[in-house]
A = this chain, B = another copy of it.
Amino acid sequence: MGEQLTSQKRFKGLETDLSEADLKKIYRAMLVTRLFDTKSMNLQRQGRIGFYVPCSGQEAAQIGSAFALRPDDWTFPTYRDVGVAVLRGVEISKLFAHLMGNSDDEMLGKQMPSHWGYKEVNFVSVASPIATHLPVATGVAMAMKLEKTGTVVVAYHGDGATSEGEFHAAYNFAGVYKAPIVFICENNGWAISVPVARQTVSETLAAKAEAYGFEGVRIDGNDVLTVYEATKKAVEKARSGGGPTMIECLTYRMGPHSTSDDPSRYRTREEFELWQRRDPVERLRRTLVEAGLWDDSAEVKLRSEIEGEITRAIEKEEKVAMPSPRTMFEGVYSTELKSLSEQRENSVLDKVSKE
């Protein structure tokens, strides 16, 4: 990805060394993510999946950063980073399989929806507890450095995550060991109902990186090209032994925190509308149109193509059976413990009654 080209400013109003194909690939991923997101929210509302964590509004931060990576680089996403999965090439049907927790699910239905993980694209399995993946991500980067693989890790986290002790440990180890890691902080202004201003009184989140001896930069996280450029630079630095960087992407989640949340309890309509005008997908679309690379008919065609894909994926996955009750006992250890085999053998596999 991110193939190098020589000239800049080749497109009207656009300062980038990305090719037309690259730009369209990025746009496609953003649109897939947006449409997938919208569809998944609907599926949950319809009771067809149990839970979902939407990402609309944050596509630029996710996809711009992921585009700066090589396939053998590793990513540590949060529940919200659908865009990273999409850009890295996870099939849409696999994403739905996970949301449904069916037998096709790479997680085998063991995790709740939005707790993705796809080893084939180095997109490491998500846990719900905030910031717990960060020390692990640093550890992978430390291993890469020890093994001199020339690869890097990109770890994603929110603004709220910066308050956790595990954030602190991860950043500090990254600094001390000069680990090849880039932290992408998707500062969407809110940790559920808690605004950044109550999360910390640090001037910026990027400023926190200095406490660990490396650079933090704050960027417009809704401009996919800015995110890409900043990440590319940070990744190159990490790859060449320069150590970690934190990139604070200013962005916004346009939806609720999750399908269990009602943001009208804590956010204003005005704030939402302001950010709606900064919609990153729409923004790239306009940019491409202005640069003469995109038009309405291309848009219509792409949308219907993606929507078709989505519909077919859902149809396919809704037919897939749920994992059998016995699989619940599998995979706790490399080989099943005798105690667990006994529990399985003695189990009465009846469903719990509903109150």
Contacts and interface: CB of A to CB of B under 8 A. Distances in A.
Interface residues of A: mostly helix, strand, loop or mixed? helix
Interface in A195-238: 198-203, 207-208, 210-214
Contacts of A207: 210-211
Interface stretch (A116-124, A146-154, A162-170): A162-170
B163 A165 contact: no
A175 interface: yes
A320 interface: no
Nearest to A165: B165
A172 interface: yes
B213 A211 contact: no
A200 B173 CA distance: 8
A165 B162 CA distance: 11
Contacts of A212: 200-202
A50 to B, nearest CB: 32
| Residue from A163, A178, A202, A212 whose CB has the most chain B CB atoms within 10 Å | A202
Nearest to A176: B201
26 contacts: A163-B168, A165-B165, A165-B166, A165-B168, A168-B168, A172-B200, A175-B201, A175-B202, A176-B198, A176-B200, A176-B201, A178-B201, A200-B212, A200-B213, A201-B212, A201-B213, A201-B214, A202-B210, A202-B213, A203-B210, A203-B213, A207-B210, A207-B211, A208-B211, A210-B211, A211-B211
A177 B248 CA distance: 24
A201 B207 CA distance: 15
A39 to B, nearest CB: 38
B163 A169 contact: yes
